[in-house]
Chain A
Amino acid sequence: MSDAVVDSPAPAEQMYGCDVTYSRGEKVIHVSRANYIATLKKAIDDSFTMCTDLTAVDFLTYASTNRQLPSSVVGERFEMVLNLISLERRERLRLRIQIPEGEASLPTAFDLYPGTEAMEREVFDMFGIEFDGHPDPSRILMPEDWDGHPLRKDFSVGRIPVQFKGAPS
């Protein structure tokens, strides 16, 4: 609510060769698609052995350019978000990966973090982002014959029209 809330644009801090920003005090690194697997490998060697969460965001209707991206990163339609935990150092680390709409795919993290199996399937199911080399690239929550990807912003929520009493038809 005050000025303190606004996150400062990141200084030239780097981690694993990626730009670092802070979002409400949480450390975020911005990884390019090409360096995705290499960065995850560095993170594992640096004791981030657990991937707690993997999800995505569809920025189709986000009007503002203020997405807290460092100047070197171009915002794309999709963004993958990974949360890693270092049990040793008791630290969290968040990865944000920009994924263009035209080629919505990423190599799978399954071989490094087997726990991402279900989460990647969920992201595929909900956003249509494909994971190359995933052992089981099928839908997980929606029926397998479902059309479309529900959490995309251009997938509308179903509505039942409400008829008010006495309203002109």
Chain B
Amino acid sequence: MTSNLIAATPAATGEGPQEMRSRSELTAKEVLREVGSVLRMSEKAAAELTSSPVENDEEQTMIINMGPQHPSTHGVLRLMLELQGEKVLRCKPIIGYLHTGMEKQGEELTYMQGGTNVTRMDYASPLNNELVFSLAVEKLLGIDGDIPERATWMRMLLSELNRMSSHLLFMATNGMDMGAVSMMIYGWREREEVLRFFQKVTGLRMNHNFIRPGGLAADLPAGWRDDVLAILEGLPSRLAEYDVLMTNQPIWRERLQGVGVITAEEAVALGTSGPILRSTGVAWDLRRDLPYLKYDEVDFDVIVGSYGDAFDRYAIRLNEIRESMKIVYQILEKMPSGDYRIQDKKVTPPPRARIDESMEALIHHFKIFTEGFKVPEGEVYVGIESPRGEIGCYIVSDGSSKPYRLHMRAPSFVNIQALPHMMRDGLIADAVAVISSVDPVLGEVDR
């Protein structure tokens, strides 16, 4: 067995190949940098890493591909792993297999149409994508202070329910990846109840385009309160079942505890956010620390871990479902009556009934849906807490009805950089646990 089973392909464009290079081609300094300056590895230790041990069979290393077609890579994530026996020495995530140029596409769509584009990025939490896009556009328009109260609380309701559905999906996939296959069915089942509510409200299970600049597409349907209460009342017993099936189970704990450990210093340096950052003990939640919407008016706890391992990340997400339920109860109490969108003729299409009686309303309707509305020049960045961490939207407007530049700061894209650090010196069997605990959505990694 040679040490480089996969020969590094020469770059056609001279820009460097994407694949991980074999150890014999690297100098000590390159390995040091590849492992990352956060690890504070000494040059001497890095030099030892490069001395490729070829004379002893047991110490030989090989590079293998995991993915892009692999059931536990959550889509099309490809990892190149350098293995020594069962031990993972190095790892490199290779992405781009789902790249569809959504940021470029965003420059071709009006602000009115932009929601349909961004909602498809993180397809497990579409409403949060729409929310951050809408908040950014509203800030550019200067109407962010005029959004009706009810619209703000409705957005919070949908955002929190989406957090629950996304974390329930994580419960399912995490269980499946760990071999608790029945958990997969339970997680999908609970998530489906939330999605059924979304379908009733927005008309679609996913990719809603419901939260729009200026407010929402429609008001909540009759009976929405009972539907939400049914979800909230049904979930606690199910979550208690999860505790029996997973949290308190020795096999589950042994599979996750101490696996994929990352320190707070590394997590901050790597720019990770969401449950990965919180698992290291850093209590950073944008809902509390840089509040948006009305999160400063609701009471909830920021769940943090202490070991930074895969179990902490699992437990944080499980408990964040409970915290979201707490928030949703408060939203139900505080939901005001009023308008669900801003009545600003420049941004909001007129009500359907007005179109029949007013020529001006018809013209407005037509103009908004064909040309879109113009947004004043400027640039703005808005970041909110999505289930996976900080999702940010950076828009540059040149005063036309389409963004000059639309950039989404995708939490998964940044978070998967932590994979090599979590996997280093771990077992290949734990690699699946580590990928799963990062909970990447490849739709937003590749955009």
Main secondary structure of the interface of A (DSSP, over half): loop
When C-beta atoms are compared, the residue in chain B nearest to A4 turns out to be B142
Residues of B within 8 A of A105 (CB): none
Total residues of chain A contacting the partner, CB 8 A? 55
The yes or no answer to B360 lying at the interface (CB within 8 A) is no
The yes or no answer to A142 lying at the interface (CB within 8 A) is yes
Q: Least Cβ distance of A142 to chain B in Å?
A: 6
Is B34 within 8 A of A57, CB to CB?
no
The yes or no answer to A13 lying at the interface (CB within 8 A) is no
The yes or no answer to A101 lying at the interface (CB within 8 A) is no
Is B399 within 8 A of A64, CB to CB?
yes
Is B15 within 8 A of A138, CB to CB?
yes
Is B96 within 8 A of A52, CB to CB?
no
- A52-B377 in contact given A117-B417, A147-B13 (Cβ < 8 Å): no
The yes or no answer to A94 lying at the interface (CB within 8 A) is yes
Is B13 within 8 A of A2, CB to CB?
no
The yes or no answer to A100 lying at the interface (CB within 8 A) is no
Is B376 within 8 A of A118, CB to CB?
no
CA distance A53 to B394 in the complex (A): 9
Residues of B within 8 A of A92 (CB): 290, 381, 383
Residues of A within 8 A of B108 (CB): 157
- Residue interface mask A17-59, B partner, CB < 8 A = 1: 0000001101000000000000000000000011111010110
The CB with the most chain A CB atoms within 10 A, among B105, B143, B269, is that of: B269
Q: Least Cβ distance of B67 to chain A in Å?
A: 16
- A144-B270 in contact given A1-B346, A52-B392 (Cβ < 8 Å): no
- Residue interface mask B135-163, A partner, CB < 8 A = 1: 00001111100000000000000000000
CA distance A63 to B105 in the complex (A): 21
CA distance A81 to B405 in the complex (A): 12
Residues of B within 8 A of A7 (CB): 378
Is B143 within 8 A of A140, CB to CB?
no
CA distance A50 to B276 in the complex (A): 14
When C-beta atoms are compared, the residue in chain A nearest to B266 turns out to be A114
By Cβ-Cβ distance, the 5 closest A-B pairs, closest first, are A115-B271, A5-B142, A145-B12, A138-B16, A135-B33
